[in-house]
Structure 1
Amino acid sequence: MGRTEEGDDWRLRLGPHTLVAGASGSGKASIVWALLLGLAGAVRSGMVEVWGVDLKGGMELGMGKPLLTRFANDSVHAVTMLEEAVAQMQARARELAGTTRQHEASTEAPLVIVLIDELAALTAYESDRDLQRRANASIATLASQGRAVGFVVIACLQDPRKETLPARGLFTQTIGLRLRDRTETSMVLGDGSVAAGALCHEIPIGAPGTAYVLSDELATPQRVRAGYADDALITHTARAFAAPRFKPVVVPETQSTREPARPRRRTRSAAQSKEDS
């Protein structure tokens, strides 16, 4: 992913659901692309599938779309894709039940990474209350049940408040980029993180990609900096390591999208006809 403060390679553990939080311009894109470029070989082999959600019209993830097995750039398709992820996750759990308690990735049953950029656009800012409810339910289900069966959620947002992401506590690996204040640092990395040395609110504006990472394997927050990937590197890697298949997200036909039924022709009763005559 980049370098640690000590100059060692920074490697991000896959498996824990991961929340990336940072103010605008703090370098969330560096985290996303360090992850995707690092997974390129596994994506091309079919061992890993990345299902991407980019509600900025696809401006961010669209550049590397060949690396994605599934892609949604609006709320309706995103919620449909999340619900399909839940269905596939639960089907895999039923298949593994009684055989093993931990999924091992293969080309037949790959590790599925659900990568969501600007998560709050679904969980808090979506104007359609039903879509918002379904999105929160799907994310909570994936984050509470997906780890053992090979479904991992990695989500990015700017506002880490609980109201923005009700399922925040289900993300056991967190990355705090530059944040606005000590309170937000504590929201992302937990109580005591500031005292332990995590100073996300003091990261300079001119140091995008600098972050503190905390997971269930780290006793204290680790200061890191993600590598920078330019547009040329992203597009070249996406073409060279494209996913072996792409599965479009198809929104089920609903009553509102069907052609409205023609109104029935009203028949006149015998009494009405007699009265009119």
Structure 2
Amino acid sequence: MSQATKMRRHAHKMRRQGIQPVVVIDKDDRFPDIAAVIIGRFLWRYRSELAPVYAVVALALAGAVLHATHAPWWPYILAGATLAAWTLAMFGERVGLSLRAERFYAAAVALGGGMWLAAATALGLAFAPLPQVLLFGGFVLAVPWWAHRRRRAKVRVERQLAAWPEIAHAVGLAGSRVQSAVVDVWGWRARLALARGQTIQDVVARVPAIESALGTFRGAVRVQPTRDDKANRFELRVLDTDPHADAIAWPGPSVASITEPIDLGPFEDATSARVLFLRRHALFGGVAGSGKSGGLNVLMGNLTACRDVVIWAVDLKRGMELQPWAPCIDRLATAPEQARVLLRDAVAVLEARAAWLAARGRRVWEPTPELPALVIVIDEYAELADEVPDTTADTDSIARRGRAVAVTLIAATQRPTQKAMGKGAVRSQMDVRVSFRVRERKDVDLILGQGMLAAGWHAHTLNAPGKFLLSAPEHDTPRRARAYLLSDEAVADAAHRHAARRPALDEVSRTAIEEAHAGVALRSLNGPEEPPSVSDVAEPENRPETVLWDMLSRAPDEGIPVSHLINATGMSRPWIYQRLRELADDHRVTQVSRGRWRAITEHAQ
């Protein structure tokens, strides 16, 4: 092994330890050797700025050699340049040319250089005006290269990373080293390897020091595990500008079925924050003004576009948040008693669906327009827990048993208190957690789960409405995203367009609700005693029409379910509905709500 090779390896090892090697120049060293080293380092350091010069020199040499050895090849060179230019223009995105202007520039350089090389191969380098064209064309095509923002950013990043050993030593991560780096639209990211004994938690704790050392603005540095999840590796993300500084308009629904992942908004790398809600309960949390309601609007805009979802909602702020979506909501509870009945009916639905699946030997409810999923959206979950505490058992039951039967609970709260979020089974069953800005550090663990703050999920540092962190089975690293913004006009337009395509609740679920209400109606009609049996109500000598009218006349204000009328008369459902329609045409009965009827007061006896 030569002495020079040993010195290079020793210098590389010193850099890994955070020590910058020093070159000692002996007085006996010859000046030409020193000058060659200095020039070589200059040409390498400024290789990006000098790339057009290198390209012009390479074309001139290639033209001279090809003219002397393979002059007849010029048609093939021209054809190859044309093909290369077309390929770059059409498929340049696959090699990192994400912008259309970048692809066209690369195609122009390839075509221009190829055409000149073909001419030089055929005619010779000295043929006028080829030298002048090469110099002028090289300068013209070099100007966009020198002015390109991403190229200049890449050069700046390379020089910053060249100084990483010194930075690592200063911030307490001595021995860490850069493995690769990529510049993108909003900044750059690098993959780094840690020294022995260092972990990603050590890096997270030193993020402010890294921001200071790199000279970035506060909050510009992100640290997350690498995709291979190695303990001694991490990805450093540095933003030059905040991609979420401005609100992002909602582009429209991203799904047509609940079986597809819903796009809540873009991450900082411009990828979509898509998450599946089918058979997953979800929690939206954040303080007032954090953009939680905007996130719910994005969710509602997508759910209302699905033709295999029935939406129930609870909004105890008298419908302030969810009322604009009322045309697409099957049931909207805005008062405590309405919320109590809605959740009780939801439990009846999941029990009926479970029995229906068991009778057919099936394990899961597959949503279709005829058998839709049921999504229950509860805004201000803390208010529900305070005003209707007896609903805790129902929400717990839905959270535990609703997955297989496609009954999904989505809760949102501005107050992630221990009382609201820490009791019962609801919080522990939330597979999807969306955290907008929280006021206190401890609230991060209340919304996202125990230990998430220490793992780098810093929701308390989110600095604009709509920014959120998403925790789900497919999103297990802390990446910032921003929810799309829906204006009031956009909400009204979406609700109007989607209202006509909303599915109806399936027959299994409707029957379960009617039967559940029938039990309540019987207790109301007969007082505290046990409800009468069918044989007691419908004696053989009583005509079904008489029994029907008697039940309708005694019905409470909320009406009596059709299922109870069927049991009392002993007649079929079509017969009941035919008689009800006849009585309604005579203005003797009225339909109070879906499946519930009563006699009009002035005709009641």
TM-score band, normalised by shorter chain: 0.7 to 0.9
| 53-62 vs 194-203, which moves further | 194-203
**1:231 alignment partner AA:** D
1:170 aligns with 2:432: no
**2:286 alignment partner AA:** G
Distance 1:36 1:49 in 2: 11
Distance 2:268 2:397 in 1: 35
Who is 1:263 aligned against?
A: none
Whether the 8 Å CA contact 2:309–2:503 is kept in 1: the answer is: no
1:136 aligns with 2:392: yes
Who is 1:240 aligned against?
A: 497
Aligned-pair distance for 1:92?
0.2
**2:376 alignment partner AA:** V
**2:343 alignment partner AA:** L
**1:105 alignment partner AA:** P
Distance 1:220 1:191 in 2: 15
After TM superposition, the structure 1 = structure 2 runs for residues 105-184 of structure 1, keeping only pairs within 5 Å, are 105-123=367-385, 125-126=386-387, 131-133=388-390, 135-165=391-421, 166=423, 167-184=426-443
Aligned-pair distance for 1:222?
3.4
Distance 1:139 1:238 in 2: 27
> Which has a greater percent of helix?
2
The 3-state SS of whatever aligns with 1:224 is strand
**2:348 alignment partner AA:** A
**Which protein, 1 or 2, shows the higher relative CO under an 8 Å CA cutoff with sep ≥ 6?**
1
1:21 aligns with 2:285: yes
Who is 1:8 aligned against?
A: 271
Matching residue within 354, 358, 361 for 1:99: 361
**2:400 alignment partner AA:** S
Matching residue within 323, 340, 361 for 1:62: 323
Whether the 8 Å CA contact 2:275–2:474 is kept in 1: the answer is: no
**2:361 alignment partner AA:** T
Task: String of CA shifts for 1:31-78, please: whole Å, max 9, x gaps.
Answer: 111011112321xx3x11110111110111101111111111011001
**1:107 alignment partner AA:** P
Distance 1:163 1:5 in 2: 34
**1:169 alignment partner AA:** S
Distance 1:21 1:232 in 2: 25
Distance 2:486 2:336 in 1: 27
Whether the 8 Å CA contact 2:326–2:332 is kept in 1: the answer is: yes
Distance 2:282 2:292 in 1: 13
Distance 1:92 1:245 in 2: 15
Whether the 8 Å CA contact 1:2–1:225 is kept in 2: the answer is: yes
Distance 1:159 1:151 in 2: 25
Who is 1:214 aligned against?
A: 471
| 111-120 vs 194-203, which moves further | 194-203
**2:296 alignment partner AA:** V
Whether the 8 Å CA contact 1:101–1:148 is kept in 2: the answer is: yes
Aligned-pair distance for 1:231?
0.5
Aligned-pair distance for 1:136?
0.7
Who is 1:200 aligned against?
A: 459
Aligned-pair distance for 1:244?
4.6
1:79 aligns with 2:340: yes
Distance 1:113 1:50 in 2: 5
Task: String of CA shifts for 1:168-188, please: whole Å, max 9, x gaps.
Answer: 212121111110111100111
Question: Aligned residues, how many?
Answer: 245
Larger Rg: 2
Aligned-pair distance for 1:225?
1.1
Who is 1:275 aligned against?
A: none
TM-score, normalisation: structure 1: 0.82
TM-score, normalisation: structure 2: 0.39
Whether the 8 Å CA contact 1:198–1:223 is kept in 2: the answer is: no
Task: String of CA shifts for 1:181-239, please: whole Å, max 9, x gaps.
Answer: 111001111233223321111112xx111111112333323322110101101111111
Distance 1:209 1:144 in 2: 30
The 3-state SS of whatever aligns with 2:468 is strand
Runs ≥4 residues deviating over 6 A? none
Could you list the runs of 5+ residues in structure 2 that have no partner in the other structure? Answer: 1-263, 528-555, 558-605
Give the RMSD, CA atoms, in angstroms.
2.2
The 3-state SS of whatever aligns with 1:164 is helix
**2:353 alignment partner AA:** R
Distance 1:222 1:92 in 2: 37
1:36 aligns with 2:300: yes
Task: String of CA shifts for 1:106-144, please: whole Å, max 9, x gaps.
Answer: 122201100000011111x21xxxx412x1111110011
Who is 2:484 aligned against?
A: 227
| 186-195 vs 80-89, which moves further | 186-195
| 218-227 vs 235-244, which moves further | 218-227
Who is 2:311 aligned against?
A: 50
